[in-house]
Amino acid sequence: MKVELLDLKAQYQTIEANVKKTVDELLKKQIFILGEEVKMLEEKIAQYSGTKSAVGCASGSDALLLSLMAFDIKTGDEVITTPFTFFATAGAIHRTGAKIVFVDIDPKTYNIDVNKIEEKITKKTKAIIPVHLFGQCADMDPILKLAQKHKLKVIEDAAQSIGALYKGKKAGSMGDTGCLSFFPSKNLGGYGDGGMVLTNDGKIDDKLKMLRVHGSKDRYFHSMVGFNSRLDTIQAAILIVKFKYLDKWNNERRQKAEIYNRLFKGSKVITPYIEQYNESVFNQYVIRVEKRDELIKYLKENEVGCAVYYPLSLHLQVCFNELGYKEGDFPESEKASKEVLALPVYPELSLEKQEFVAKLVRGFADGKK
């Protein structure tokens, strides 16, 4: 039985007519750059997330960079984040010229270990970027408390967690900015790249809107140096169609996660740990097992899709050698990179396929394949 890690074709079949109608109407209007659909989506996402405003941009990666630029993060500054995340989190910091300062992760949630942040704060520290990994929010209260104490900005990397809740608050709404991604594989994914920055600060909102169009408010007049990072109108239009289904899709992902949890109960498979105050949206369903790489080979032999997020901790990436980190500096992140594995989880995944996946994984983990 073939099981895709993510089947976007199955999702498209459920919304095809609406998407085609929306795109056709946009093609007739021929307004593709910052059209009214972009503003509509910004308003919908801001209201949904519980923030005063939202600024569409070209990608989740750009959302991070725009946030750092809006807070004037520059060479000589330091920004704290996790080494166990997608490259863009650290890459955005590097592009500003600031120094990346890593903090190890909590081994259960894979999010930044809040108990290890303060010891890394110096006079040069300007911001903290917590990542809400795999659809679960980081522990934000201690982070926000530290930020207030040391007068730091908090930029939430919520690329994988739109709709996730932390003590009743939506991901991306708690920091000074929150960064979303609309990459196709996300719970709310476009048909290409796209991103958004959430904020409650009117001045930052204005600055973000200028930075995304080369630092201009009035065309051809530039008060700062920005870059081209606009959310395409056609992507915004498609996302408006898909947005109506977001909560339904997130609930169905949680249901699939519960099914896996039940199927793995009593086995040697370590299932996702969700804090009691959190509500995850399971952008990924990530397990831990011994002999992970052997399991990957076994699943591929049986046509089951799977993926490793992430196979090499960021502090060990060649491009960051200049930071001076070495193997052993962040043991929990390094250990996770050798043991984690994401299994198929999406609303259209059938129970039959889930049971097939779980049977293979459980049999391998328990030595009964």
Q: Are residues 263 and 359 in the same domain?
A: yes
CATH of the domain at 238: 3.40.640.10
The DSSP letter of residue 105 is B
Task: Identify the CATH number of the domain in which residue 309 sits.
Answer: 3.90.1150.10
Same domain, 235 and 342: no
* Chosen domain end from 243, 275, 296: 243
In total, how many domains does the chain have? 2
**Up-side HSE of residue 259: CA atoms within 13 Å toward CB?**
22
Residue 83: predicted pLDDT = 98
Q: Give buried/exposed letters for 143-174 (b at 16+ CB in 10 A, else e).
A: bbebbeeeebbbbbbbbbbbbbbbeeebbbbb
CA atoms of 10 and 314, how far apart (whole Å): 33
CA pair distance 302, 332, nearest whole angstrom: 30
Q: CA angle at residue 354 from 239 to 270, to 5 degrees?
A: 100
How big is the CA angle at 166 (ends 231 and 249), to the nearest 5 degrees?
55
196 forms beta bridges with 56, 180
Residue 368's pLDDT is 82
DSSP string covering 2-51:
-B-S--HHHHHHHHHHHHHHHHHHHHHHT--BS-HHHHHHHHHHHHHHT-
The DSSP code sequence of 75-88 is: TT-EEEE-SSS-HH
SS3 call for 261? helix
Q: How far is CA 218 from the centre of its chain?
A: 32
The CA distance from 366 to 44, in Å, is: 46
In a domain, 258, yes or no: yes
Peptide bond preceding 309: is omega within 30 degrees of 0, i.e. cis? no
User: Which of residues 192, 226, 243 is at a domain's end?
Assistant: 243
Residues 186 and 287 in one domain: no
Largest Cα–Cα separation, the chain? 68
CA distances for 106 relative to 109, 252, 300, 314, angstroms? 6, 27, 30, 16
Task: For residue 29, list its beta bridge partners.
Answer: none
- Residue 1 forms part of a structural domain: no
Q: Please indicate, yes or no, whether residues 174 and 75 belong to a single structural domain of this protein.
A: yes
For residue 155, the SS3 value is strand
Give, rounded to a whole angstrom, the gap between the first and last alpha carbons of the chain.
16
Instruction: Name the one residue in this structure whose structure tokens are 């001076």.
Output: 324
| pLDDT beneath 50: ranges in the chain | none
Determine the pLDDT at residue 301. Answer: 97
Give yes or no: residues 221 and 273 share one domain. no
Query: Nearest 5°: CA angle at 192, between 135 and 202?
Result: 65
Q: From CA 94, how far away is CA 92, in angstroms rounded?
A: 5
Q: According to the model, what pLDDT value does residue 369 have?
A: 73
Residues 136 and 19 in one domain: yes
Of 192, 215, 243, the domain-final residue: 243
91's tokens: 């890459």
Q: Using only the alpha carbons of the chain, give its radius of gyration.
A: 21
Q: Which two tokens stand for residue 297?
A: 């080979």
Q: Is 341 left (phi over 0), alpha (psi -120 to 50) or beta?
A: beta
pLDDT reported for residue 190: 98
CA distance 79 to 123: 11
